[in-house]
Structure 1
């Protein structure tokens, strides 16, 4: 399932050239993640109480600038599921132009260490994967 979140680019998110500073792509991915978790049937407060997911890794692949005055749209979708992790792809775009792809890997934790996803959570995450995954 692809989930979408959008926001106007604020002046404070840009550098002196009027281009979005790279750290804001992570903030937007985080905003979109809350919408994604809820849309797949795992509202953050519920999944956090059961599996305490943390972001283990983030990767950004920049393609083109988002600028002050643009509206960014972030498409979120599960990309890969492991025993203790799920990687979600966040495609940040302005209209149809891709600006950046962010991949966040969330790991289920308990007591400070990685643990397998609870069976029912794994079932929901599995159902959200693309058909060819």
Structure 2
């Protein structure tokens, strides 16, 4: 069962027609990523004190529009964990209708800004999250 976060579509997410402006989905994905790491008990504050976890690649498929007031369920899954990277999947639905599907690659960086191995406890948590 993947980690899921609820996201209400707010006024700030929408264009004048009341439909989510697609770049706002990337903000929602980032918020879901941050909540996912909280769920792993390794919050971004801890990661950022040691380096960072930037998104190196992201792609999305927008299936159906979302509107102001909709409640999106964003499921986050870790598909693959490497030495310093993690492939992530995001699936947003509203009332069982797929709204978007996205994949990203996160890279753990050290204080120099270069890729660095995940801390062992976090790498273990990422691997275990695939089995939850």
TM score, norm. by length of structure 1: 0.86
5+ residue gaps, structure 2, are none
Q: Residue 3 of structure 1 contacts residue 35 of structure 1 at CA under 8 Å; is this kept in 2?
A: no
**What displacement does 1:122 show?**
1.4
Q: Give CA-to-partner distance per residue, 1:97-116, whole Å, 9 cap, x none.
A: 11001222110112121122
Corresponding position of 2:64: 64
- Work out the number of aligned pairs and report it: 131
Distance in 2, matches of 1:6 and 1:106, equals 22
Q: 1:12 to 1:49 in 2, by over 3 A?
A: closer
**What displacement does 1:46 show?**
1.7
Q: Residue 51 of structure 2 contacts residue 113 of structure 2 at CA under 8 Å; is this kept in 1?
A: no
Q: Give CA-to-partner distance per residue, 1:58-117, whole Å, 9 cap, x none.
A: 111111111123111211121111221012212111121110012221101121211221
5+ residue gaps, structure 1, are none
Distance in 1, matches of 2:124 and 2:92, equals 27
Structure 2 residue 123 is the aligned partner of structure 1 residue 125: no
Across the aligned residues of Structure 1 and Structure 2, the Cα RMSD in angstroms comes to: 1.9
Q: Secondary structure at the match of 1:109?
A: coil
Corresponding position of 2:81: 81
Q: Secondary structure at the match of 2:80?
A: strand
Q: Residue 58 of structure 1 contacts residue 105 of structure 1 at CA under 8 Å; is this kept in 2?
A: yes
